[in-house]
Structure 1
């Protein structure tokens, strides 16, 4: 059986993260923090086992508190500003990667949706 190797990158291609295998979870989030992080109405993240990812390139970080009280550390490109991946303190065994950074229309769809009460009423699915 062939294991998928996927690579996500920022808009300029300088910051990359390679992920070996299938994501543990793909989730769509409508929280206000994800809306601000993406500049869109929601974010979509693929969670991979930490030992299955390798990041390359220069990154800057931004750490914030989540509503759970745990912290999340975001890694973004200092050149183009793309938020590529993040480390959720609550799940230290996982690395979350912005699904859009894979630029792959065949990427697995979200199996979980969070913060639906914050969903914009005109957003479907």
Structure 2
């Protein structure tokens, strides 16, 4: 079985996921822009179980549809490494950049595209949704 480890900048916090990525995408919502300090977030989902090493500081944010997302970031360097959705314990969302794998596959979709900065170009064929289509 394939395993991948994502880690924060300083290496204090990491998560190891197993198996294939269930799906990956880009989020351009203003909350993700603020959270990452970038103009979008790139996320991949993996099925549980997974292993966490190190200490995490958590921040819970309520999404547009009322879901509660628990973001886990390193209290030393501040990198957001992964997040979970309250009540959805069967998967975890990992920040693709924390995998440090430039060969990771291109995103499968782009959400909150209405907030995408005009100069950000998506790969050809990536479906874009004005909001989250859930």
* TM-score (norm. length: structure 2): 0.87
Q: Tell me which of the two structures has the higher relative contact order, counting C-alpha pairs closer than 8 angstroms and 6 or more residues apart.
A: 1
Q: Distance in 1 between matches of 2:35 and 2:100?
A: 18
For residue 42 of structure 1, report the CA deviation from its aligned partner: 0.3
Query: Unpaired segments of 5 or more residues in structure 1?
Result: none
Q: Which of 88, 102, 123 in structure 1 is aligned with 2:120?
A: 123
Structure 1 residue ranges (4+ consecutive) displaced by more than 2 angstroms after TM superposition? 89-92
For 1:43, the equivalent position in structure 2 comes to 41
Deviations 1:26-46 (CA, angstroms, capped at 9, x unpaired): 011111111011111100001
Query: Unpaired segments of 5 or more residues in structure 2?
Result: 123-134
The two structures, once aligned, show a CA RMSD in angstroms of 1.1
For 1:11, the equivalent position in structure 2 comes to 9
For residue 90 of structure 1, report the CA deviation from its aligned partner: 6.3
Question: Map of 1:62-77 to 2, 5 A cutoff?
Answer: 62-77=59-74
Aligned residues: 122
SS in 1 for 2:89: coil
Q: Which of 97, 102, 107 in structure 2 is aligned with 1:105?
A: 102
Q: Distance in 1 between matches of 2:23 and 2:51?
A: 18
* TM-score (norm. length: structure 1): 0.93
